Amino acid sequence: MFKRIVWATDGSAGADCALELAKSLASQDGASLVAVHGIEFVAGKGGALPQSADEDERQAKVAAQVAELEQQGLTVSSKLLHGGVHGPAHVIAEVAAEEGADLIVCGTRGHTAIAGLLLGSVTQRLLHIAPCPVLVVPHPSDNG
């Protein structure tokens, strides 16, 4: 059913839950996966800085997850991109369009300041701008 699946990740537990489903779908359909991590920046005195102090650890985690997927025999690539002026949701949507993705898989909440909301702000925005269907995977803690 799916040929190209984008897995949107920020390195959070919610993105990890989404990865499990994306991996399952890719395995069953023989689809390729594209891991997309959009870095959010904030303006500082010395220029733009990553919003999160642990951004290096997040990038290392995503790289390790991609390597593990490859070891499991999946066709996977990764894109590490700057959120730009419109933020990570637009970056994810652009990559999905460029890659000809059939599906975007993402978690409900991530590492943003408003992570306590039912849907994270990136996921909420992505639902409105994505060029293909978006599968939103709830984190187990969202279920009660």
Domain with residue 110: its CATH number is: 3.40.50.620
Under DSSP, the state recorded for 82 is: E
**Tens digit of each residue's pLDDT (9 = 90 or more) over 38-59:** 776 555 565 554 556 677 888 8
* Parts of the chain with a pLDDT under 70: 40-53, 83-86, 109-120, 141-144
Q: Which domain holds residue 106?
A: 4-143
Query: How many structural domains compose the chain?
Result: 1
Minimal CA–CA distance to 103: which of 39, 41, 25, 50? 25
Tell me the pTM.
Answer: 0.83
Dihedral angle, C-alpha 127, 124, 23, 103, nearest 10 °: 10
